Amino acid sequence: MSAGQRRLLIEPAHQRLSIAAQCRLLSISRSSYYYTPAPQSEETLALMRVIDETFMDCPWYGSRQMVRHLQRLGHAVGRRRVRRLMAQMGLAAIYQRPRTSDPHPEHRIYPYLLRDMKIERPNQVWCADVTYLPMRRGFLYLVAIMDWATRKVLAWRLSNTMDAAFCVEALEDAMARFGKPDIFNTDQGSQFTSQAFTGVLRAAEVKISMDGKGRWMDNVFIERLWRSVKYECVYLHAFETGSELRAGLSRWFAYYNHHRPHSRLAGKTPAEAYGQIDASDHGGHAPHDLITRMAA
């Protein structure tokens, strides 16, 4: 975690909450509060990009299959290294665990509410997910809040760690600009099961739904979004810095929401199907996100 994030997310002099308590509320391990990660080598970043591109095409690859694929491409890698990198990137084969990250053992898991439900109108169900984005000299994580029925991306944020804070920021932004859904559906990743995230939903009286094992298809719409944003924006431009990546994503999400028709939406764009064209709808533009969560 960067020094800027530590200063803004944790208040060492808080009168009522200790550092340990604040870390628990933000789903951050206490050790990570004090730890500054070393930068990855160019060789490792290049390997992570190959892993990410491969996983987009073959999301059923676990570490064993990924090692075989990489070795066939000429990479001298072992399973332990590939498994560690895939965990860092939040990648898990769909037949094993259809989640971006492991659930926290102390977090409540909510029941799945969408079985046999017809989702046909805006704000009936929202969903969220996190993905890894490579850059030329580093990587960041992206979270997006999507309206299920219309595929509209309501908000997004970037972060250099997979903690809960940037997911909460995206959720609060989406609800401030678009109201609230009847149901919010996620996987069981620790970001979404955290008190910080579920507390926002409970306070707004939003029903919480969480995918169970074997329910990876429930997030298929947002998985398709990840494929599009990576192949049409991230891989194409190989951004140098976090600020360049953010600017590129802002342009791409504006295009996706307002100018890209969907066959499943009868040729409408997500914004048209949602019925609310917002001129400022570029997502992820809060100063906190820009200043503290960009890896320059």
Q: Would you state the pLDDT for residue 11?
A: 65
- At 135, is the secondary structure helix, strand, or coil? strand
Q: Would you state the pLDDT for residue 156?
A: 97
Alpha carbons 21 and 23: distance in angstroms, whole number: 5
DSSP assignment string, 81-108: HHHHHHHHHT---TTT--SSSPPPTTSP
Q: Would you state the pLDDT for residue 208?
A: 97
Q: Would you state the pLDDT for residue 291?
A: 28
Q: Would you state the pLDDT for residue 99?
A: 43
H/E run at residue 29 = none
Alpha carbons 195 and 290: distance in angstroms, whole number: 24
Answer positive or negative: Cα dihedral of 52, 241, 175, 8. Answer: positive
Q: Would you state the pLDDT for residue 292?
A: 32
* Among the listed residues 151, 114, 146, the one whose alpha carbon sits nearest the alpha carbon of residue 127: 146
Please, are residues 26 and 196 in contact by the beta-carbon 8 Å criterion? yes
- Which pTM was predicted? 0.68
Alpha carbons 283 and 21: distance in angstroms, whole number: 30
- CA torsion angle for 110, 112, 175, 204 (degrees, to 10)? -50
Sheet containing 138-147: give its strands across.
153-159, 138-147, 125-135, 183-186, 207-210
Alpha carbons 36 and 68: distance in angstroms, whole number: 32
Each residue's pLDDT tens digit in the chain (296 positions)?
443 344 345 666 666 777 677 676 665 555 555 545 556 788 888 899 899 888 877 776 788 888 888 998 899 999 999 999 888 888 777 544 334 455 555 568 899 999 889 999 999 999 999 999 988 888 899 999 999 999 999 999 999 988 899 999 999 999 999 999 999 999 888 899 999 999 999 999 999 999 865 455 566 788 889 989 998 999 888 898 899 999 999 999 999 999 999 888 988 999 999 995 454 554 444 333 332 333 33
